[in-house]
A and B are shown apart, each in its own frame.
Chain A
Amino acid sequence: MSRPSTSHAFTNVFDTLSRDYLQGKEEVLRLSVIAILVGGHILVEDLPGLGKTTVALALAGATGLSFGRVQCTSDLLPSDITGLSIFSREEGRFSFQPGPIFNNIVLLDEINRAMPRTQSAMLEAMEERRVTIEGITYPLPDPFMVFATQNPSDQSGTFLLPESQLDRFLICTGIGYPAEHLEREIIAAGGIREKVGSMEPLVTTAAIMAARKEVQTVYLSDKVLSYIHNLVLATRSHDLILNGLSTRAAINLAQAAKAAAFLAGRDYVAPDDVKGIAVAVCAHRLVMRSDMAAIERGGVIRTIIAGIALPLV
């Protein structure tokens, strides 16, 4: 078994962050790293004050990527995100002032508070990876990753993201409360914002781009491919589900599984990798039957997975 050389660096990023900075947030960190490796976006759904912003900042700090932040409100305009042209008296012409979206990692805090108009402009940029303002197209930097958050409990004055746009997020996950002893340590140590802000980068941008290429070469066997396909088919014929997974979801599942295998230091995908990221990749894309909307979708995915035999030979 050959171990991809660049995967060392990413295991290192992951290990350092979870050991020294973000104790108890391994899962969201791992999924964030997978999102970077695949080039996808991540949506974190959880209550405020559980460290969503800190995770995004730490990720930016460890990778040495530029970081932009947008706090969404109901009066946020698309141009507040993308930027706009301002007339310069000295030069006698309009010059473009790029908005926060022209960063490698963009934190969209409380994305469900923005108007649908702003949301769709944002999500279009996520998909196209470029912004067109007043007839001029500006490419977004590469790597580019949106780290969106939303607060599931406070629903007043919010605009829920439509299913079609949820599908654009590679991964949707929560953070959860840290374990008791970890939380006591965090309280004792106080905030770590300053510590995160002064972080030295652990990988270079070039290494990220090389790792992305390598992830694509991870071998996906026929057995695992049929496992993924069976999983997707099972969601389409499930009783509780109105619309199952799309083909894009299946592609994303395979890509994320490759990245997970890469992080685990393997050059092939095992069914375990698929299992490990299936809930994060699939759950938010399911459209449940109207009378079943209250059911937790992660649980549905877990029961579907339990019903499909893993290809062992």
Chain B
Amino acid sequence: MVAIRSLAAILTYVIGLCGVIPLFPWLTALPRVFLVAGFLSGLWQDLMGRWKLKPWMQNTAIVPVFLFYALQFSRVNPIQPVISVLAIMLAVRISGEKTVRDSLQIYTLSIFCLASSSLFDLSPVFLIYLGLLLFVVAVALVLLTFQNQDDTMAVAMPELKKILFSGLLMPVLAVPLLLVIFPIMPRTQLPLWHFLNQPAIRTSGYSDSVEPGSQSSITPSQTAAFRAEMSRQAQSGLYWRGTVFNRTDGIRWSRNPRVPAERHEISGRTITQVIYPEPSAVRTLIALDRPVGIFMRRVKRSPDGVFELIGTTGSRLSYAVDSLPSGLIQQRNPVDRLFYLQLPEDFSARLKALASKIARSGKDDRTRVEQLEKNFRNGGFRYSTRDLPTGDRAIEQFVFDKKQGHCEFFASSFALLLRAAGIPCRLVGGYLGGEYNELGGYYTVTEDKAHVWVEAYINGSGWTRIDPSSFATNAGDVWKPPGSRSLKLRISQVLDSLNHEWNRYVITYDFEQQINIARHVGSRLRLANPSKILRSSVPYFTGILLLAGLLFAVRKFSLFRSRERRILNRFLRMVEREFDLSAEECASGLFEIASVADNCHVSKFVAIFAGAIYHDRRLTDSEYLRLRQILRFLKG
């Protein structure tokens, strides 16, 4: 027996936790303290069975809190006071004795708390808490109706199971309704309140300028930058293009938005991806190098393959991209050499000397680039994110003295030398590599994968991708393929793909997308021939039929019933057939059947079977065997 009252109390705490946990990180210190204290004191008093906190004390305690937060409420700070009052009210309610009325208030407050947590964060965890809350509230409401009738009521385990089952039934029945409502209800793609005071997003890597030498070390962050749904590609070809830097002052590279016109020869195999960037303030759209087209409204396209978003940012979005992954783009119109050879007036003399040496070593651009590459390969450069050259002469230090730095040093120095040697070039900022999630079929690229490389215009072939960082002596270590798939990695991938599906189908879901899918299905149906559809649907129908058949078998042939029920059903069927009894007679008692049938085997069966059943025990193995033997006699 389980006391309804204590069960309802436990569920009340669960409900309270479901409401509080998602909101807790966004609360200020005072409501946090209240919550912890409220839960602890409530638990302690419930365990003791004495409630020292009287309802009038609780109600009085809320008044000053309410006044305090009411004074804080303003147009710039509308949310915090409200959620603080909510949380404190919940804490106060949960701290005392829980009558039916108090419990109902706690449930309501918990639902409000959970709902307000979605103002700050739209993560799939919300759904888990919501589902749990709905289920537990349904069960708890059923229990409360019992408690309301009789405070001291206790129920046995089977009844409790029934209550739990009916409680589960309610949310489960609501799910189909939810699916109907989902497409028509208005939704938000960003947490309503929290997007305004979003923390600085990109902590490492990608920025709108390249300035090697500004910091002596960088700490890479492992947070995801974006996800790209596509088939698996060679790891070495995963250059994700973001922006292009085409202007330099010798130290800092930046973007001149007035990019000269380029007309490209587009040929070769394209790769289609769908990119889901994490929300950020950056307007540049990332795509696999080199994007040919991004299919999205309100996107500005620059001739050098940079795509930028016009208008608001910060919400979740997704876009499809077609890319040419070859790393080589032919240009039909002549390149603007002046624009891509621009160098500062006070360009370092040492670098200039090195560049002119390289310019002299080859007769065309290709051999000069190869010479510079050889210089870098044999120069003993190391890739490192610590102990970096700093200051105005950081590039010179890197090339001639320290010989260690990160991609910005490699790319920047390489590009400066190329320009000084008379070869047009630019820097491309983006990401390199990524982790492929087999489960979701997408790449996850984290912020620490931010990368800068060089695009050089080589006469006769076109814009060629050169990654100077790969010339480092330790490039193999840095670009090593992902190691063995550990369990932790696999779990994190599963979680990540769940997160991704949530973002994809719930947060960035829009009506247009649904209509596109419907239209797509419609056109596919028009094209397809009926017999093919019929053939392809055969497995589904077979599956459904099999499932239905299995269910029917379970019901009809009592596959999972007890041994007693099985053998009794066999016996009844057999008696009905052999002795020509009506179903009505078979519904009567066993001894009545035996007297109507007037057969020694039937009587024996009934005697053994009833002897066990009406003694409240199961059939023993020997009895069971004997009964089966009798049934065989009956049949024979």
Residues on A facing B (Cβ under 8 Å): 1, 219, 221-224, 264, 266, 268-273, 275, 309-310, 312-313
Contacts and interface: CB of A to CB of B under 8 A. Distances in A.
A310 B614 contact: no
Contact of A224 (B564, B591, B607, B614): B614
B562 interface: yes
B622 to A, nearest CB: 14
Contact of B565 (A1, A223, A268, A313): A313
27 contacts: A221-B613, A221-B615, A221-B616, A222-B616, A223-B614, A224-B614, A264-B591, A268-B611, A268-B614, A270-B610, A270-B614, A272-B588, A272-B590, A272-B591, A272-B592, A273-B591, A275-B588, A275-B589, A275-B592, A309-B587, A310-B588, A312-B568, A312-B590, A312-B613, A313-B562, A313-B568, A313-B613
Given A1-B607, A313-B565, A313-B568, A271 B615 contact: no
Nearest to B592: A272
B591 A268 contact: no
B624 to A, nearest CB: 13
Is chain B's interface secondary structure helix, strand, loop, or mixed overall?
A: helix
A1 B616 CA distance: 14
Kindly list the 9 A-B residue pairs having the minimum CB-CB distance in the complex, ordered from nearest. A272-B589, A272-B591, A1-B611, A221-B616, A268-B614, A221-B614, A313-B565, A313-B564, A271-B589
A219 B614 contact: yes
Contacts of B613: 221, 223, 312-313
A275 B610 CA distance: 15
A136 B590 CA distance: 52
A217 to B, nearest CB: 13
Given A221-B616, A313-B562, 12 more contacts: A1-B611, A222-B616, A223-B616, A270-B589, A270-B591, A272-B589, A272-B590, A310-B587, A310-B588, A312-B613, A313-B564, A313-B565
Contacts of B564: 313
Contacts of A224: 614
Contacts of A313: 562, 564-565, 568, 613
Interface string B559-571: 0001011001000
Nearest to A275: B589
A272 B611 CA distance: 13
Contacts of A1: 607-608, 611
A221 B589 CA distance: 15
A268 B588 contact: no
B362 to A, nearest CB: 95
Contact of B615 (A268, A310, A312): A268
Nearest to B563: A313
A273 to B, nearest CB: 8
Contacts of A222: 616
Most B CB contacts (10 A, CB to CB) among A268, A269, A272, A310 go to: A272
Interface in B566-619: 568, 587-592, 607-608, 610-611, 613-616
Nearest to A274: B589
A311 to B, nearest CB: 8
A257 B323 CA distance: 88
Task: Point out which of B591, B610, B614 has the most chain A C-beta atoms below 10 A from its C-beta.
Answer: B614
A275 B588 CA distance: 10
Given A310-B587, A312-B590, A268 B562 contact: no
Nearest to B595: A272
> Which of A219, A223, A271 has the most CB atoms of chain B within a 10 A radius of its CB?
A271
A273 B590 CA distance: 10
Nearest to B566: A313
Q: Which range holds the interface residue count of chain B?
A: 10 to 19
A273 B610 CA distance: 12
Contacts of A264: 591
B595 to A, nearest CB: 9
Contacts of B615: 219, 221, 268
Most chain A C-beta atoms within 10 Å of own C-beta, residue among B564, B568, B587, B616: B616
Contacts of B591: 264, 270, 272-273
B568 A268 contact: no
A151 B124 CA distance: 83
Contacts of A309: 587
A253 B241 CA distance: 90
A269 B614 contact: yes
Nearest to A1: B611
A254 to B, nearest CB: 13
A273 B591 CA distance: 9
B108 to A, nearest CB: 39
A268 B588 CA distance: 18
Contacts of B589: 270-272, 275, 310
A269 B614 CA distance: 7
Contacts of A275: 588-589, 592
Given A221-B616, A223-B614, A312-B613, A270 B590 contact: yes
A309 B608 CA distance: 21
Nearest to A310: B589
A264 B588 CA distance: 18
A278 to B, nearest CB: 12
Contacts of B590: 270, 272, 312
A123 B568 CA distance: 47
Interface in B448-487: none
A25 B590 CA distance: 25
B110 to A, nearest CB: 41
B161 to A, nearest CB: 19
B181 to A, nearest CB: 42
Contacts of B588: 272, 275, 310
A215 to B, nearest CB: 16
Interface in B532-581: 562, 564-565, 568
A262 B157 CA distance: 36
A269 B591 CA distance: 11
Contacts of A266: 611
Contacts of B565: 313
A266 B613 CA distance: 13
A266 B589 CA distance: 15
Contacts of B611: 1, 266, 268
Nearest to A224: B614
B580 to A, nearest CB: 20
Contacts of B610: 268, 270
A70 B607 CA distance: 44
Nearest to B610: A270
Nearest to A225: B616
Nearest to A268: B614
A64 B53 CA distance: 78
B365 to A, nearest CB: 92
Nearest to B567: A313
Contacts of A268: 610-611, 614-615
A279 to B, nearest CB: 14
Nearest to B607: A1
A1, A222, A273, A309 pick with most chain B CB within 10 angstroms: A1
A198 to B, nearest CB: 35
Contacts of A219: 614-615
A134 to B, nearest CB: 51
A269 B588 CA distance: 15
B634 to A, nearest CB: 17
A221 B615 CA distance: 6
B619 to A, nearest CB: 10
Contacts of A223: 613-614, 616
A310 B613 CA distance: 12
Nearest to A269: B614
Contacts of A221: 613-616
A219 B568 CA distance: 22
A291 to B, nearest CB: 31
A195 to B, nearest CB: 31
A313 B589 CA distance: 11
